[in-house]
Structure 1
Amino acid sequence: MKSTNPEPEKSSSPSSSSKAETLDSVKEKEESTTTAQNGGSLLKDSSDAEVTKITLMRAFVESKDPASKDVDDSTLRRFLRARDLDVEKASYMFLKYLKWKLSFVPNGVSPSEIPEELAHRKLFSQGFDKQGRPIVLAFAAKHYQGSDGGDGFKRFVAFTIDKLCSRMPAGQEKFCAIADIKGWGYANSDIRGYLNALTILQDYNPERMGKLFILHAPYVFMKVWQIIYPFIDNNTKKKIVFVDNKKITRTLLEEIDESQLPEIYGGKLPLVPIENC
């Protein structure tokens, strides 16, 4: 996965020599760890290989940061899956996330911290798709670069993901997103903001987005999309669907029941602001 942070930062990885030693250590542990028996999995829907990797990863990250002990197995598994079950890569990705969380949103984000972002009324969440994933709807033409240099928008993104996670049924880890680009223009263009949002989603909340439908994308938006696209993880790219304007309702109904679809797309549900969901 490519880093999407538009601003350079110091790497959290060790030096090349210590990294090699760490990798050897992980490999030795991996070779000496027996595959978990059926029925003994840490997570019922995890493969034996994943259970083994989770065990190794937990031992490693807890040795580096005691705060890791408070994190559940499903969270570690998401980071592992984002790094193709590479224990070392997933571990350093996770440790970087913990550092970010402690420094940026140690107690989460409250609505009172992001009044400017909420005032734009650009994000809503209501209903669930056919896989039980909460649905979030974004109106891109209502987004403008904030007056605070982008800090508020980053907090808004973190706030949104936390809200969606709180709506997930037991056993569900992903959400379904609809991005409506109708009316979007250069006044709404915020490439730095988009990349920051991508960083928060991919680097700090991996394997959270299950699907993204992009509607009413104008030609001018595609120019900006070409800049953003190379930073999107390959697995994430597979989840993105640009929907034909003439097939919006039909396409959405393939994934979302009419009773759960927003009214503006032919469904039954009224829009609910993200802060009220």
Structure 2
Amino acid sequence: MNFHLSHPFPFNWLIEFVIILSSASQLHHPQTMKMVIMFICPFFSCSWFDYISSRVVSLQLVNMSFLWKSSNSGATEKTLTLEEQQQKIDELRKQLGEPSSVAIQGFLSDASILRFLRARNWNVQKASKMLKGAVKWRASYKPEMISWEDIAHEAETGKIYRADYKDKLGRTVLVMRPGLENTTSGKEQIKYLVYSLEKAIMNLTDDQEKMVWLTDFQGWSLGSTPLKVTRETVSVLQDCYPERLGLAILYNPPRVFESFWKIVKPFLDHETHKKVKFVYSNDKESLKIMAEVFDLDKLDSAFGGRNTATFEYTSYAEQMKQDDKKMQSNDTGSDASSEASFYSGTDSPKHGDGEAEA
């Protein structure tokens, strides 16, 4: 079936989307991706091949590692015993040296080092390089020091927030509504995403280290997020938060996203592509996914659940301020207070009036 578009299709966005979702796939080589693109382009009657292939190469698909495990030259993921894993951790610690601050010391837990090792298929040298980069970024960016007051304006519309429910596996759920973008500063948008990730991670239980991203595409357009912001966001996520995403649910995305994904999927390993779910509100079969993943009594009605409460800014602000205090006191465990509800009413999140960056 051919897709003939009446206007030039912005494949740069589509490619960014696939890069983010297939970050650690078996699409190791630019030539492989070029073959895929060559097959796809005629379906869209476009002449974007050179641009797309150059974008894929420049963004180094092989190094994308945030969502899932990074490729290691096509090697099958190794399976190590607990003793072997500990040996790798100890070896990597020796290469890192002494932490530069209390915050960095807290970041360099055994669990954190394990994530970087898994992201580099237990290659200590590669994991060391990746982890040193993340440590340098954290020492400079200081994500743990971002407070609610720093990003409160970014949160006004509910474009990103931590849900007051978890999935059936007990994973923290981060709701994203890119159609509710209310600001124009890419720097501030990334800061808010980092803040949200840090708080989501802080609220993970001891038996979970991954989260669920539930992305609602209602109201989204190609102009919602500039391409530059997308690239910078991917850079932070891939390098500094590996092995943190367990499931990505795309709710009512543009259909062309899934069409493109189906073409790319055969090139991906099973563990990668099964972590991406496309759900449509007018498709009963795809809605079954929501029932499999969530308790429908707790899930937002906007996502097919039975909970009619919606995001309420004031309540969420109070909860985030409490989380700020917990992080500042180095108490990052999950307790009852961290699950306090910030939902009320039945109105959907509203768009805010964004102002151009000065």
TM-score (norm 2): 0.56
Three-state SS of the structure 1 residue aligned to 2:145 is coil
Q: Does 1:113 align with 2:166?
A: no
Find the counterpart in structure 1 of residue 90 from structure 2: 55
Written as runs of structure 1 = structure 2, the 5 A alignment for 1:12-161 is: 47-62=82-97, 66-67=100-101, 69-70=105-106, 71-105=108-142, 107-124=144-161, 125-143=163-181, 146-148=183-185, 150-161=186-197
Three-state SS of the structure 1 residue aligned to 2:97 is helix
**1:52-76, Cα deviation, whole Å (9 max, x unpaired):** 211111111126x555644210000
Q: What is the CA-CA distance between 1:238 and the residue it aligns to? A: 4.7
Aligned mate of 2:279, from 243, 251, 259: 243
Find the counterpart in structure 1 of residue 339 from structure 2: none
2: CA distance between counterparts of 1:221 and 1:94? 32
Contact 1:62/1:69 (<8 A) preserved:
no
Aligned mate of 1:263, from 272, 279, 301: 301
The AA in structure 2 aligned to 1:97 is A
Q: RMSD value over aligned CA atoms? A: 3.3
The AA in structure 2 aligned to 1:249 is L
Three-state SS of the structure 2 residue aligned to 1:259 is coil
2: CA distance between counterparts of 1:267 and 1:143? 26
Give aligned-pair identity as a percent. Answer: 24
The runs of 5 or more residues in structure 2 that have no matched partner are: 1-23, 29-55, 61-79, 321-358
2: CA distance between counterparts of 1:100 and 1:260? 37
Q: What is the CA-CA distance between 1:171 and the residue it aligns to? A: 2.4
Q: How many equivalent residue pairs? A: 231
The AA in structure 2 aligned to 1:139 is R
Three-state SS of the structure 1 residue aligned to 2:234 is helix
2: CA distance between counterparts of 1:221 and 1:116? 30
Written as runs of structure 1 = structure 2, the 5 A alignment for 1:150-229 is: 150-219=186-255
1: CA distance between counterparts of 2:105 and 2:141? 20
**1:165-192, Cα deviation, whole Å (9 max, x unpaired):** 1221122111111101122123314222
**1:137-177, Cα deviation, whole Å (9 max, x unpaired):** 11121125x443x1101111110101101221122111111
1: CA distance between counterparts of 2:193 and 2:223? 20
The AA in structure 2 aligned to 1:89 is K
2: CA distance between counterparts of 1:198 and 1:57? 25
Contact 1:122/1:138 (<8 A) preserved:
yes
2: CA distance between counterparts of 1:107 and 1:189? 25
2: CA distance between counterparts of 1:255 and 1:107? 30
The AA in structure 1 aligned to 2:173 is I
TM-score (norm 1): 0.71
Q: What is the CA-CA distance between 1:269 and the residue it aligns to? A: 6.7
